[in-house]
Amino acid sequence: MTLQDPDRRDFLYFLGGGALLAGGLGHARAAEARIGRLIIEAQSKSSISQKIDFISGALRGTRYLAYTLIGGPQRTEQFVAREDGFDCVTFCETVLAAARAGSRDSFISALKSIRYHDGVVSWRERNHYFFEWGQHNVENNVCKPIDMAGSIEIEKNVYWHRELGRRRFAIRVIPSAVFLDNKALLAKGDIVGFITRRSNLDYFHVGFVALSGGGELLLRHASQSKGRVLDERMDSFVAANRVRYVTLLRPQEPRAIAGAG
């Protein structure tokens, strides 16, 4: 890969997607059927962590697919979802929305809320940078940040798209060695973001924390280089990509609706 190649792990500006769930296409119906089945099956799990682990595990082997959201500065945004292909962010979004949902309709609502600021389907309300994705999903109580002793604060001055302008982020980050040394503080389904070394971007990749049967720390993610959703050893990924810092978000249980039931 060269820096000129539009690699999804480098450019978290494009936040995946694909066939419209509401449309009449075969992929859309397949998406509804598969995600709907996983939502139902996940109801037997007692926590959001277990639901994420179950759903994300069921999607292993799904192909990597990037640049499929529809919309732009001069193009009307369309809500998009699919289950037959993901990039790293749309994989996390889809699994998180399905784990929070009790039905197809609530899945659609959850996915809009996760992908867009205040759930407003608009190009300018899309969480283009993953820092903003995390910030907004903390604000709406979908996730909470996880810190560790040894964390530091860094600043990122991002400027990937002229229509978005220049943005400066102060990010609380965990050195990779601290992260790997504190497996006991992690939970299945935690969302780990990998900070890029590039000066004009914030992150280069995201995925879920998973554990092997023997307790080995894994990264479950949609991998561009491997071409599919898979598990790989977290320490190997960190070493191969020369990861300096990560951030952690812990998905929160959906709040019960007052008067429900």
Structure tokens at 260: 């429900």
Tell me the CATH architecture of domain 26-139.
Orthogonal Bundle (1.10)
* Residue 19 confidence (pLDDT) above 50: no
Average pLDDT over residues 154-176: 89
> 110-130 pLDDT, tens per residue?
999 999 999 999 999 999 999
Question: Given this model, what pLDDT does residue 32 score?
Answer: 58
CATH class of 143-251: mainly beta
Helix axes 88-100, 48-58, angle to 10 degrees: 130
Average pLDDT over residues 18-46: 67
The three-class DSSP label of residue 148 is coil
Q: Where do the domains of the chain lie? A: 26-139, 143-251
What's the pLDDT band for 6 if we cut at 50, 70, 90?
Answer: very low
pTM over 0.85: yes
* Residue 18 confidence (pLDDT) above 70: no
Going by their DSSP bridges, the two strands 63-64 and 85-86 should be labelled as: parallel
Question: Given this model, what pLDDT does residue 3 score?
Answer: 29
Question: Given this model, what pLDDT does residue 34 score?
Answer: 87
* Residue 41 confidence (pLDDT) above 70: yes
| Alpha carbons 189 and 175: distance in angstroms, whole number | 20
Asked if domains 26-139 and 143-251 share a fold, the reply is: no
